[in-house]
Amino acid sequence: MDWWQTGIIYQIYPRSFKDSNGDGIGDLEGIISQLDYLNGTPESLGIDAIWISPIFPSPMADFGYDISDYTNIHPIFGNLEAFDRLIDEAHRRNIRVILDFVPNHTSDEHEWFLESRSSRDNPKRDWYIWRDAKPDGSPPNNWGSMFGGEAWTWDEQTQQYYLHLFLDKQPDLNWRNPEVEAAMLDVLRFWLDRGVDGFRIDVMSYIVKDKHFRDNPVLPDVRAVAPNNLWGKLEHLYDIDQPETHDIIRRIRRLFDSYQQRVLIGEVWVANQEAWIKYYGQNLDELHLPFNFDLLLCPWDAGAMRTAVNNLEAALPVGAHPNYVLGNHDISRLATRFGERAIRVAAMMLLTLRGTPTIYMGEELGMIDGVIPPERIQDPQGINLGADRTRDVCRTPFQWSSDSFAGFSIVEPWLPVAEGHLTRNVEVQSRDPYSILSLYRQLIRLRRNSPALGSGSYQEVLKDSETCFAYLREAEDEQYLIALNFTNCEQQLILEGQGKILLSTHLDREETVDLSTVTLRPDEGLIIRLIK
């Protein structure tokens, strides 16, 4: 198996991981200084790869997802020399480095767009999506922006609209133009040659749009969405997930395959699982891992999680590798979303399922959503669509210690530190053998040292339980039973045989048990090695 199949990915949101130069914003030097926390020493967490959200020059209208130069580093984060050092230092600790590639749009301050908007006959005009107004002056169609309002902005100077599925400061590139593709493949080459181990591709499924720019159908019931949330009112038939996208991904994949051991991961939002699966490619020649958000979208419920996992296992083509995500920089933290009592069982589930897990930084500390005073909201989604939609809540500074600003910075950080940092921090939790951080470390260790957990088969047990999700992982002659109690009441497991408890989410139990009488305590998960 390849490293990205057996390994664990850890997502770093660089603005909030570690500030080394006292400007309140995280940076590359900060990441380098904390690599030992991630891997390479006996005390490390033990992850295999870091995916770093965008670190390139950007006006930061969408905090780096609006890139103005694809082949450089934003001075806020450092420079290319620091980046090269990061790669070396990470590799020395067996940490692979995955960067974030944003192909759907650039910043409106990117040189390409400045040229494109300068005149209708500029050679780069067609690198973006320009359309005439309708006769009454209104936009070419009814598409909306994900960040509120129309997806079209009028350009006075050249008298046309340009398309942006996100902010007006994030114009969409025209991937139907082969020059755009060539330029973007060059960007990937630039970083792959520098030793980057892979890419996570931003909104991979959005890059191509309907050739005829047809109106999207309007959804029948849209009362729940904010008035300016035009995106939320439409069915996304023509603005995303167009068949031509797959040809482009195949060509990107070919580039990756011309290097050794690089991983191609994509953020894929589409209408359903059938459409999502296609992103592996008909011959598994597209994404290695289309991010799987099924569990992230589930309620905290044993039946819902089991169904999501089983549906995926049943739908995956032979050879396609599963993966699971429970949190990222776009969604409320799992302690807040599922409730704090769920975090241990969630960790055990994520790290024992068949497939590559991605951990979002801070989940291993049980961090909760930050409280962002209205005047400190930074995220354009929160500013445009309402405070309840701000993604700032999950982007607060990482909590290193009980010091001021949680040891993240020596000055007030760009976002406030979340509550509970005095206990939910690396320093305190490293000393506590029962902490959630200790649980993550042990889970990762166990997974790394066990063929069954790392790469074995998956089989559900207790098919109809409404309270527990249980499954077997098996490889060679190792058989592990994972039993997860999703309720806050005791549950009795009634199975056959004998086993040895290797790990409890409560970190206080290692005993041989008779499977017909095992009791799971409230919110407890167990990993049991079966004895034949």
Binders of ligand GLC in range 462-491 (CB under 6 A): none
Q: Binding-site residue total for ligand GLC (CB under 6 A)?
A: 9
- Distance CA(347)–CA(355), nearest Å, equals 14
Among 161, 166, 175, 279, binds ligand GLC (CB under 6 A): 166
75, burial (CB in 10 Å: exposed 0-12, middle 13-18, buried 19+)? exposed
Among residues 361 and 426, whose Cβ is nearest to ligand GLC?
361
Tell which residue, 270, 283, 276, 200, has the closest CA to residue 237: 270
Assign residue 301 a region (left: φ > 0; alpha: ψ between -120 and 50; beta: otherwise).
Answer: beta
Examine residue 202 and tell whether it contacts ligand GLC (CB under 6 A): yes
Instruction: Verify binding: residue 102, ligand GLC, rule CB under 6 A.
Output: yes
d(CA 477, CA 279): 34
Residue 103 or 413 with smaller CB distance to ligand GLC:
103
Q: Of 62, 197, 363, 524, which lies in the binding site for ligand GLC, with binding defined by CB under 6 A? A: 62
Q: Which of 56, 65, 143, 414 binds ligand GLC (CB under 6 A)?
A: 65
From CA 455, how far away is CA 115, in angstroms rounded? 50
Helix residue spans in 98-213 (DSSP H): 111-118, 178-193
Task: Tell me the β-bridge partners of 266.
Answer: 201, 290
Told to judge if 340 belongs to the known catalytic residues of this protein, a careful annotator would answer: no
* CB of 321 or CB of 329, closer to ligand GLC: 329
Q: Match 């991983």 to its residue by tokens.
A: 263
* Binding flag, residue 188, ligand GLC (CB under 6 A): no
Rule CB under 6 A: is residue 9 a binding residue for ligand GLC? no
Bridge partners of residue 199, in order along the sequence: 99, 264
Q: Catalytic: 109?
A: no
Q: Which residue in 48, 100, 202, 294 is the catalytic one? A: 202
Residue nearest to ligand GLC (CB): 65
Nearer to ligand GLC, 102 or 302 (CB): 102
β-strands 263-266, 289-290: how paired?
parallel
Q: How far apart are the first and last CA of the chain?
A: 27
Tell me if 67 contacts ligand GLC by CB under 6 A: no
Query: What x-and-dash track marks residues 494-513 binding ligand GLC by CB under 6 A?
Result: --------------------
The CB-of-100 to ligand GLC minimum distance in angstroms stands at 8
Hey, what are 33's tokens? 């200084």
Per CB under 6 A, 330 contacts ligand GLC:
yes
Dig out the tokens for 516 from the structure: 């017909």
Q: Provide, rounded to whole angstroms, the least separation between the CB of residue 126 and ligand GLC.
A: 22
Mask for 245-284, x = binds ligand GLC (CB under 6 A): ----------------------x-----------------
Which residue out of 19, 108, 172, 267 is catalytically annotated? 267
Amino acid at 246: H
Contact 133, 139 (CB under 8 A): yes
- Dihedral pair phi/psi, residue 502, rounded to 5°: -95, -35
Q: Which amino acid is at 255?
A: L
Q: What is the nearest approach in angstroms of ligand GLC to the Cβ of residue 62?
A: 5
Binding site for ligand GLC (CB under 6 A): 62, 65, 102, 166, 202-203, 267, 329-330
Catalytic residues: 202, 267
